[in-house]
Amino acid sequence: MDMINCTINGTPVSVPAGTTILEAARTIGIEIPTLCYMKGRNEIGACRICVVEVTGARTLVAACVMPVSEGMEIKTRSDRVLKARKRTLELIMSNHNCECLACDRSENCELQTLARNFGVDFDTYKGEKTEVELDESSPALVRDDSKCILCRRCVAACRSQTGVIGANNRGFDTTIGCAFEMKLADVACVNCGQCIEACPVGALVEKDQIAEIFEAINDPSKVVVVQTAPAVRAAIAEGFGKPIGTMGKGKMVAALRRLGFDKVFDTNFSADLTILEEGTELITRVKNGGKLPLITSCSPGWIKYCETYFPDFLDNLSTCKSPQQMFGATLKSWWAKKNNIDPKNIVSVSIMPCTAKKFEVGREEMSVDGFADVDYALTTRELVKMIKRAGLQWDNLPDEEFDSPLGEGTGAAVIFGTTGGVMEAALRTAVDVLSGQDNAEVDYKEVRGMDGIKEASYTVGSLTLNVAVASGLENAKKVLEAVRNGEKNYHFIEIMCCPGGCINGGGQPIQPNWVRDTVDVRGLRAGVLYQEDLDLPERKSHKNSAVMDIVYKEFFGEPNSHTAHKYLHTHYVDRSSTVK
């Protein structure tokens, strides 16, 4: 490998050819500030915050795109550089909504941090501001272009998903939005929220429903029940300044009780339920010549994408509802009956790592007997805000356990929160069922990891199962096109909308971009879930006694029964006509 020698602020540096100045600086502990840069996704040198001085160059250069060359002398903190960055920040501020105290991203805003670090005066350049409209049309997202800094990071994030947003107009009138100034609700947005995670400021946020939840909690006529998805526990502590990869389950449960929820349950319960239903569906299709490959239906962003762009695969989708919806349906049927509670008085709340769950709860297909399975879906970030608003001190909260029996879950359910987890959980049960024995091997590591596409084959008796796992819609598209073209032959496919799965969902705590570039955020969060899987006494969904010995025996009967289909299964619709 060819190595390039240069100096940065007088310090000798040797890096591989092709390394940018930004990357070279990081090797010696210098973080050059950026706003538009996202490694491998948005390397456009547009914001000019990362400019540095190179000896012999007439102008300052963008460190994020300029490769080092032999003998290059680089200055990252010269007078000229610091003044240029401050001036650029002041110009950005001149067309920015600077009502920071009321902004959702205050204290976690990359622009605010840079402005503070550079001592920026917000009023240096006064004048006209671009006229924009607030877009609140989406059931999940809110876009406020008065805070947009035109960094195009959201555009890059969306490009790898659906590509429904981009730059409109030119010059001072440039805005980021949908084509022809359409609203988010009127285009094929799948509500994944990856644009929120990418945005350095508060131009994109989830649709906040905290006030409605507090109102319900304070209504004595309502029984307010909450469930939390497995990926939430792997990231919520970050919202209180804890290191990435910190388990937050026990304190989260304690916080939810102190917020006033009547019952605190675990979506792991219905993840196990999902495996029983989906695993049975897979085995039935394989044995009886049903439609294959079977494709998972847990991710609502992926489901809407399939409905919109690949409606010819609708019959391949599992008819199972997602664990969120299965939980809500079980809550308002079996649990309500067992506790003699009228379902109309139950407020079913979920805490999810996902903004698309807000869209899912409003789907007509997600209700039974006139009752929506889930009434409200809140993100991990919203729960963090609720805890802070209520004055709860995270560090002083004890570790508590979920309520029973809908708080019971296995290790298979925990790993639902990361890419490959649903597949591995399904394999643990399917292999036992097909082989007729309790197999000691439960780790299917071939489907683990953050690769966008993973493939594996497993032989059980005379049957060989070909499986694939895809995360991120760009990778989902590749897999589906390969199946459509006859290039691949799978029995079972897991697809997650967000790259890395739910641990990287659009509703998780937002880490600054430089952290995402330099730290394996997804891997650290996934590690939390795999560790809990190892620590639990039961690691197979069909070993969940609360599911098997209570709920199935008392209500559903058996997986894929008539009653199970009524409450736990659904159908999907062709949305291809919405593509504009």
Token pair 């609203």: residue: 183
Helix (H, G, I), strand (E, B) or coil at 521: helix
pLDDT of residue 577: 84
Record the tokens describing residue 534, joined without a space.
């190892």
Report the pLDDT averaged over residues 490-511: 98
> CA geometry: angle at 206 spanning 204 and 208, to 5°?
130
What would the mean pLDDT of 422-436 be, rounded to a whole number?
Answer: 93
Helix (H) or strand (E) holding 516, with range, is: helix 513-518
DSSP string, 273-318: HHHHHHHHHHHHHHHHT-SSSEE----HHHHHHHHHH-GGGGGGB-
Q: Which residues contact 273 (CB under 8 A, 6 or more apart)?
A: 323, 326, 327, 330, 541, 547, 551, 568
Q: In what order do the strands lie in the sheet with 134-135?
A: 134-135, 141-144, 204-206
Mean of the per-residue pLDDT values of the chain: 96
**SS3 state at 52:** strand
The DSSP call for residue 546 is: I
- Please tell me the pTM assigned to this model: 0.96
Query: How far apart, in whole angstroms, are the C-alpha atoms of residue 295 and residue 412?
Result: 18
Residue 214: what residue type? F
pLDDT at 36: 97
Quick: pLDDT tens for 113-141: 999 999 998 788 888 889 898 999 999 99
Q: How confident is the model at residue 345 (pLDDT cuts 50, 70, 90)?
A: very high
**Tokens found for residue 229:** 């998805």
Mean pLDDT score, 3-31: 97
For residue 479, pLDDT beyond 90: yes
Distances (CA, A) of 497 to 47, 129, 188, 442: 29, 36, 14, 25
Mean pLDDT within 170-199 = 94
**Domains of the chain by start residue, with CATH:** 3-77 (3.10.20.740), 100-206 (3.30.70.20), 211-578 (3.40.50.1780)
User: Which helix or strand (DSSP H or E) is residue 371 part of?
Assistant: strand 371-372
pLDDT at 580: 56
The reported pLDDT for the residue numbered 440 is 92
Residues 262-295 pLDDT 10s:
999 999 999 999 999 999 999 999 989 899 999 9
Q: Which long-range contacts (CB under 8 A, 24 or more apart) does 374-377 make?
A: 374/324, 374/325, 374/327, 374/328, 374/348, 374/349, 374/350, 375/328, 375/347, 375/348, 375/349, 376/209, 376/212, 376/213, 376/216, 376/347, 376/348, 376/349, 376/350, 377/324, 377/349, 377/350, 377/352
Quick one: average pLDDT of 499-515? Answer: 97
Can you name the residues that pair with 468 across neighbouring β-strands?
455, 493
CA distance 361 to 377: 7
The token pair at 368 is 């039974």
Give the model's confidence band at 434: pLDDT under 50 very low, under 70 low, under 90 confident, else very high: confident
Q: Which residues are catalytic?
A: 278, 281, 298, 318, 357, 360, 365, 502
pLDDT at 566: 97
DSSP SS3 for 210 = helix
Which residue in the block uniquely carries the two structure tokens 């920040």? Answer: 89
User: How far is 24 from 64, CA to CA, in rounded Å?
Assistant: 10
Q: In terms of Cα–Cα distance, which of 401, 419, 373, 375 is closest to 270?
A: 373
Sheet holding 492-496, edge to edge: 294-295, 492-496, 463-471, 453-460
pLDDT at 204 over 80: yes
Partnered with residue 62 across adjacent β-strands are 51
Q: What CA–CA distance (Å, rounded) separates 417 from 526?
A: 8
Confidence of residue 342 (pLDDT cuts 50, 70, 90): very high
> Rounded to whole angstroms, how far apart are CA atoms 375 and 179?
32
Quick one: pLDDT band at residue 463, thresholds 50, 70, 90? confident
pLDDT of residue 292: 96
Percent of the chain residues topping a pLDDT of 90: 94
Helices (H) and strands (E) in the chain, counts: 21, 20
What percentage of residues in the chain have a pLDDT greater than 70? 100
Residue 106 has pLDDT above 60, yes or no: yes
pLDDT at 390 over 80: yes
Run of H or E including 465: strand 463-471
CA distance 120 to 3: 38
- Distance of alpha carbon 210 from alpha carbon 278, whole angstroms: 33
The 8-class DSSP code of residue 264 comes to E
CB burial string 8-34: b at 16+ within 10 A, e below: beeeebebeeebbbbbbbbeeebebbb
Task: Provide DSSP, 121-148.
Answer: -TTSS--------EE--SSSEEEETTS-
pLDDT in tens, 66-93: 999 999 999 999 999 999 999 999 999 9
- Per DSSP, the three-state class of 48 is coil
Average pLDDT on 18-37 reads 97
